[in-house]
Structure 1
Amino acid sequence: MDKPLKNPPTYMINSVDHALRIATMLQMEGELTVSEVAGRLGVARSTAHRLLTMLVYRDFAVQDDRRRYRAGPVLELAAHSPSAASRLRTTALPYMRRLAGVLDESIHLAVRTADTVRFIAGAECAQSLRVTSREGMVFPAHRTTAGLLLLAELTDEELAAVYPAERYADRPADRPDLARLRSELALVRRNGFVLNQDRSERGVTALGVPLRAPGGEALAGLSVSMPSGRYDPHRLYSLADALSRAALAIAADLAPDSH
């Protein structure tokens, strides 16, 4: 089995973690108030204000005349130009939050770009021991639930184009074994879901399904994540069904005639 890709540091520096999460939220969402940031991080408004003030000082954020914060020049994002990813995120989040409440586990949404996936939304559950939001984090696609779901949509030729040997000439260990990967993706296509146990992060189990556009194109991977010790194999199909229902509801809301 592959070694887990990422593990939380032994000593978490919460202020740094909070600041990085705020920067990610600003880059991906455009504008936020102090109250919104405080609510998302679960901190006091005064703490959120201090963090935002430091981000403004370092040009990661700017404050407008309405006292709202948006991404600053360091993040180099046209915050007022809504993208497909931001629309997907906005549409999906209410469903993700409801699902996190129903399943009492954390929900994530990720999209693929070439050989990586980026988590664009997260909804944490209320349990004290939980998988925290991975929003903004980037992982190699073949090591993640969403990545495997989205790679499974590719033909063998398209998959080979994602992983050309020359791209990995200076880091061959990062290139997956394509024969093994094709076998794994064939299983994903048969099952319609991915079960990821400790593959991305030690101690974390995730189950995911594809979120498809009305035309059938897989846009993202929608997953539920939990501490591995809390995963019950008997819940596999009920979790997959709950995720699939949520994915269908999100897709229906994305349809052009639903707006």
Structure 2
Amino acid sequence: MKNPPAYGVTSVDHALQLAVILQVEGPLTVSEAAERLGVARSTAHRLLSTLVYRDFAVQDEDRTYRVGPVLEIAAKTQSNAAAIRAAALGPLRALVDRLDETANVSIRTGRTVRFIASVECSRALRVGNREGMVFPAHEVTGGLVSLAALGDDELTALYSPATADGSEERPDLAKLRTELRAVRQSGVALNLERSERGLVAVGRGVTDSAGATVAAVSVSMPSVRHSPHRLKEVVMALTTAAEAISAALVDGVRAPSRS
């Protein structure tokens, strides 16, 4: 299980959290930043000023902060992430209330998956907040769900180009195709310590108004609390959450725009 580093510096962690929020959700004010981090407004202002100095953020005339040149390109590739996150937060909290395990929503970009929303459970032993974390798509449930929505030709094209230095760990495509067929049939992906030791996760797809898989909702738990007998309960709760998020996305598309 991935845990925060013992040597972590709080101010650095807060600055990185703000950078992720700006990249994924869009502009925010000093007050909103302070509320999200649970810090004083003066602290939030110093953090945002530092991000501006390093070109991770810029301040607009209305005194809100948005992504700067360093993050702008990446932010443009995830323009729908904020809408998905907004649609997901309510269902995620309901999912945590129902199962008392940490719940997440992730999106795929190429061969990687980024967690864009995370709600922790209240248990002492729990999977921590994963918001902003990035993993290889074939290693996590959200990635497997998203990859299962691709055709064989699309999957081949996705994994054909090699990285320049050859450092990227590439999956066995024959084995991955077999796994993805099982995900398509069941609609659920299972991660039994695949990405991290001591962690089990179950994921299900989130669809847009056209029925395309645009994200995945998942539940993560310590492996000591997982059992095959509990899987049915988890899948039922995930299905409810996925349907609620999908419905919220559709309602968002139908809602009249404000001018």
**TM-score normalised to structure 1 length:** 0.84
2:132 alignment partner, SS class: coil
Q: Which moved more, 1:82-91 or 1:18-27?
A: 82-91
Q: Matches of 1:96 and 1:45 in 2, distance apart?
A: 28
Q: Cα offset for 1:236?
A: 1.2
1:182 alignment partner, SS class: helix
Q: Matches of 2:65 and 2:167 in 1, distance apart?
A: 42
Structure 1 130/34 Cα, relative in aligned 2: closer, same or farther at 3 Å?
A: farther
Q: Matches of 2:210 and 2:189 in 1, distance apart?
A: 22
For residues 3-42 of structure 1, the aligned pairs below 5 Å read 8-42=4-38
Moved segments of 4+, more than 6 Å: 78-82
How well do the aligned residues superpose, as a CA RMSD in angstroms?
2.8
Match of 1:243 in 2: 238
Q: Establish whether residue 211 from structure 1 lines up as the match of residue 199 from structure 2.
A: no
Match of 1:134 among 130, 133, 157: 130
Q: Matches of 1:233 and 1:56 in 2, distance apart?
A: 49
| Percent sequence identity over aligned pairs | 56
Match of 1:52 in 2: 48
Match of 1:227 among 222, 226, 242: 222
Q: Cα offset for 1:243?
A: 1.3
Q: Cα offset for 1:8?
A: 4.9
**Preserved contact between residue 101 and residue 126 of structure 1 (Cα < 8 Å):** no
For residues 91-240 of structure 1, the aligned pairs below 5 Å read 91-164=87-160, 166-168=161-163, 170-171=165-166, 174-240=169-235
Structure 1 39/235 Cα, relative in aligned 2: closer, same or farther at 3 Å?
A: farther
Q: Cα offset for 1:10?
A: 4.7
Q: Which moved more, 1:89-98 or 1:15-24?
A: 89-98
Q: Which moved more, 1:75-84 or 1:135-144?
A: 75-84
Q: Cα offset for 1:208?
A: 0.6
Structure 1 44/234 Cα, relative in aligned 2: closer, same or farther at 3 Å?
A: farther
Aligned residues: 254
User: Residue type matched to 1:116 in 2?
Assistant: T
Q: Matches of 2:6 and 2:45 in 1, distance apart?
A: 27
Q: Establish whether residue 85 from structure 1 lines up as the match of residue 103 from structure 2.
A: no
Per-residue Cα deviation, 1:113-142 (whole angstroms, up to 9, x for no partner): 221112222222333443233222221110
Q: Establish whether residue 71 from structure 1 lines up as the match of residue 67 from structure 2.
A: yes
Q: Cα offset for 1:245?
A: 1.0
Q: Cα offset for 1:181?
A: 0.8
Q: Cα offset for 1:55?
A: 2.0
Q: Which moved more, 1:210-219 or 1:142-151?
A: 210-219
**Preserved contact between residue 168 and residue 175 of structure 1 (Cα < 8 Å):** no
Per-residue Cα deviation, 1:74-128 (whole angstroms, up to 9, x for no partner): 3225979992222222222222233223322222111112211122222223334
Q: Matches of 2:162 and 2:74 in 1, distance apart?
A: 29
Q: Matches of 2:47 and 2:22 in 1, distance apart?
A: 13
Per-residue Cα deviation, 1:172-204 (whole angstroms, up to 9, x for no partner): 761111111111112212221111122222222
User: Residue type matched to 2:91 in 1?
Assistant: Y
Q: Matches of 2:95 and 2:39 in 1, distance apart?
A: 23
Structure 1 8/193 Cα, relative in aligned 2: closer, same or farther at 3 Å?
A: same
